[in-house]
């Protein structure tokens, strides 16, 4: 398809989406049918950027090769392996392992581009399913998108599963396993870019990384973090605590429903909560931290089109995958529950296996990593963020003072009209106070219909009871609720009901019985953002 007709398609798609949104704005999309595999024959340019300057240099054709053989239906039997894979932390592997790991990517890079096992095609798998190369099965007017919803964790688990099998088979070593980039570890050496990715003569190297973030620079799990090492560490620990510990149900942590017809690629589905805290918070923050800020879209890691051209991507996602297991089984209070709806479990994806065959998999088979034949060792430093106990820097409610200084009251949609955030917004918001809640409910903040055009990376930080907060306020205290990081994709608009658990913050500050609280949304980045309402309720 040439550029002109791709544009027409987009224009049509946009008009369609807008009218569909009008039709559906009051309908909650709770049932539907699970996402099926796309028709790979129908591929278009993955994204249609506004043609401004350097953005045109991005390679946008991510269309995937179509193997001639028939599609393999995944079964545990067919993909059984006799050896157990153990994915080790990247900072702790031996010189022997590193040599092998380098060799594996050398082999992967040297395959012809159109070989399904080549690094180029592996990267295009991500590009095509994140930037709209394929339509949803059963709904030609909506593009497939594997981020911003409950498919985020299982899709990336499968992606790594086959990627790892391909590396192992290229090496001829069935025991070969990926590593994980242990960026959440704030004590034992995980929170820097692992050394093995740095030599520029290595297959693990990628030139498009943030040169200011080479070791010993510490990772920043919120993009606005500054300070000395111990301040950075505490803010990283609080980011982990907020995103992984307190967001303890499936929707808050993993993301919300994504079924046939849900348009997340150029989202106008207003009932969609979109991604969960692990995706929107720490995961996106690490993409942003790793990518090269001198590139227009912070390539490679900072935008989905190019992220998985960098071998470090797979180690980053291996940690995200490990944290899913940790969240599910390894936190105080007992096992947590994944989504269990059939629309979730029956979602299907395509990947390529080590024989370059196309394989059809589903979400149900992804939920137990041990059945997939790999595991992660226990990480002692997890304890630091699990037990991180953020102290408040405020005491007592900030509402009276805020009222006196003219801070506006913002209610739920639709009573406010559209509010532009500018560089930030402080508002008084109603809260449930001491209304009773059932044990399976959470106290949740909903930023309603947050809308942003994704031309550049932007982040919205949320604080409670701290009206002076702005985009460089320290995020290690109990007043920090979370961050919604938005990865750039030029020309694409996102409208989301962003959700964050806030009850734990209110408890720690001691304002859990108040019927109003002061919220501050602080914006990093210059892209205009609007919201249509703020709601704190039990759900």
Identify which of residues 314 and 385 has a Cβ nearer to ligand C2O in the complex: 314
Identify which of residues 317 and 449 has a Cβ nearer to ligand C2O in the complex: 317
Q: Would you say 412 and 211 are in contact if contact means Cβ atoms under 8 Å apart?
A: no
Identify which of residues 111 and 307 has a Cβ nearer to ligand C2O in the complex: 307
Q: Is 157 in the site for ligand C2O (CB under 6 A)?
A: no
Q: Which of 43, 111, 125, 130 binds ligand C2O (CB under 6 A)?
A: 130
Does residue 339 have an active-site annotation? no
List Cα–Cα distances, 433 to 134, 262, 289, 478, in angstroms: 46, 34, 38, 18
Does residue 317 have an active-site annotation? yes
Q: Is 285 in the site for ligand C2O (CB under 6 A)?
A: no
Q: Would you say 89 and 97 are in contact if contact means Cβ atoms under 8 Å apart?
A: no
Does residue 147 have an active-site annotation? yes
Q: Is 283 in the site for ligand C2O (CB under 6 A)?
A: yes
Q: In the numeric block, which tokens belong to residue 433?
A: 């106070």
- Minimum distance from residue 368 beta carbon to ligand C2O (Å): 21
Identify which of residues 135 and 317 has a Cβ nearer to ligand C2O in the complex: 317
- Minimum distance from residue 317 beta carbon to ligand C2O (Å): 6
Which residues touch 359 (CB under 8 Å, ≥6 apart)? 71, 72, 73, 74, 162, 350, 351, 352, 353
Does residue 9 have an active-site annotation? no
Burial class from Cβ neighbours inside 10 Å (0-12, 13-18, 19+) for residue 52 reads exposed
What is the Cα–Cα distance from 404 to 431, expressed in whole angstroms?
19
Q: In the numeric block, which tokens belong to residue 402?
A: 């805020």
Give the dihedral of Cα atoms 92, 95, 97, 100; nearest 10 deg: 150
Identify which of residues 237 and 278 has a Cβ nearer to ligand C2O in the complex: 278
- DSSP H or E stretch at residue 328: helix 312-329
- Size of site (CB under 6 A) for ligand C2O: 9
- Minimum distance from residue 313 beta carbon to ligand C2O (Å): 7
Identify which of residues 156 and 309 has a Cβ nearer to ligand C2O in the complex: 156
Does residue 287 have an active-site annotation? yes
CA atoms within 13 Å, Cβ hemisphere of 372: 27
- Minimum distance from residue 15 beta carbon to ligand C2O (Å): 28
Identify which of residues 126 and 209 has a Cβ nearer to ligand C2O in the complex: 126
- Minimum distance from residue 129 beta carbon to ligand C2O (Å): 8
Q: Would you say 318 and 183 are in contact if contact means Cβ atoms under 8 Å apart?
A: no
The active-site residue out of 147, 163, 316, 339 is 147
Residue with the two structure tokens 């009850």: 503
For residue 273, give the nearest of 61, 101, 448 by alpha carbon: 448
Task: Using the Cα atoms of residue 307, residue 311, residue 314 and residue 317 in order, give the sign of their dihedral.
Answer: negative
Q: Is 209 in the site for ligand C2O (CB under 6 A)?
A: no
- Minimum distance from residue 305 beta carbon to ligand C2O (Å): 11
Strand bridging mode 493-501 / 443-453:
antiparallel
The active-site residue out of 148, 176, 288, 304 is 304
Does residue 304 have an active-site annotation? yes
Q: Which of 147, 220, 328, 499 binds ligand C2O (CB under 6 A)?
A: 147
Does residue 316 have an active-site annotation? no
Question: Mind telling me the catalytic residues?
Answer: 126, 147, 156, 283, 287, 304, 317
Q: Which residues bind ligand C2O (CB under 6 A)?
A: 126, 130, 147, 156, 283, 287, 304, 307, 317
């Amino acid at each position: 398809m040439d550029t002109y007709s791709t544009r027409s398609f987009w224009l049509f798609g946009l008009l369609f989406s807008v009218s569909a949104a009008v039709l559906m704005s009051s309908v909650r999309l709770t049932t539907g049918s699970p996402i099926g595999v796309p028709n790979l024959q129908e591929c278009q340019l993955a994204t249609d950027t506004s043609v401004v300057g350097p953005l045109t240099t991005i390679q946008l054709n991510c269309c995937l090769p179509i193997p001639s053989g028939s599609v393999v239906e995944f079964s545990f039997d067919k993909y059984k392996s006799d050896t157990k894979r153990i994915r080790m932390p990247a900072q702790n592997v031996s010189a022997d392992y590193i040599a092998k790991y380098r060799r594996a990517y050398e082999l992967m890079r040297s395959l012809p581009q159109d070989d399904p096992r080549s690094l180029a095609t592996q990267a295009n798998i991500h590009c095509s399913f994140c930037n709209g190369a394929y339509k949803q099965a059963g709904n030609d007017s909506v593009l497939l998108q594997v981020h911003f919803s409950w498919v985020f964790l299982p899709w990336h688990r499968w992606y790594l599963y086959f990627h790892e099998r391909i590396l192992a088979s290229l090496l001829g070593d069935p025991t070969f396993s990926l590593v994980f980039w242990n960026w959440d570890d704030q004590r034992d050496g995980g929170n820097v870019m692992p050394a093995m990715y740095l030599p520029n003569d290595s297959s693990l190297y990628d030139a498009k990384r943030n040169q200011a973030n080479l070791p010993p620079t510490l990772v920043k799990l919120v993009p606005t973090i500054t300070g000395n090492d111990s301040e950075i560490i505490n803010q990283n620990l609080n980011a982990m605590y907020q995103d992984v510990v307190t967001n303890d149900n499936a929707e808050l942590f993993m993301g919300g429903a994504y079924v046939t017809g849900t348009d997340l690629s150029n989202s106008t589905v207003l009932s969609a909560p979109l991604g969960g805290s692990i995706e929107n918070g720490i995961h996106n923050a690490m993409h942003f931290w790793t990518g090269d800020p001198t590139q227009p879209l912070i390539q490679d890691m900072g935008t989905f089109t190019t992220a998985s051209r960098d071998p470090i991507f797979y180690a980053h996602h291996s940690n995200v995958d490990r944290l899913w297991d940790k969240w599910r089984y390894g936190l105080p209070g007992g096992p947590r529950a994944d989504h269990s709806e059939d629309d979730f479990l029956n979602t299907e994806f395509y990947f390529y296996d080590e024989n370059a065959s196309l394989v059809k998999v589903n979400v149900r088979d992804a939920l137990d990593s041990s059945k997939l034949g790999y595991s992660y060792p226990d990480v002692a430093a997890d304890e630091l963020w699990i037990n991180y106990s953020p102290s408040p820097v405020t005491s007592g409610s900030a509402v009276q003072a805020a009222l006196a200084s003219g801070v506006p009251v913002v209610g739920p949609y639709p009573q406010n009209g559209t509010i532009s955030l500018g560089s930030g917004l402080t508002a008084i918001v109603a809260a449930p106070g001491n209304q009773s809640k059932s044990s399976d409910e959470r106290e949740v903040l909903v930023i309603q219909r947050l809308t942003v055009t994704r031309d550049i990376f932007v982040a919205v930080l949320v604080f409670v009871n701290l009206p002076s907060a702005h985009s460089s306020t320290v995020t290690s205290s109990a007043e920090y609720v979370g961050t919604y990081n938005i990865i750039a994709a030029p020309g694409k608009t996102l409208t989301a009901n962003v959700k964050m658990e806030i009850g734990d913050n209110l408890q720690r500050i001691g304002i859990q019985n108040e019927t109003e609280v002061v919220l501050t949304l602080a914006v990093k980045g210059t892209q205009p953002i609007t919201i249509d309402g703020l709601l704190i309720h039990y759900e």
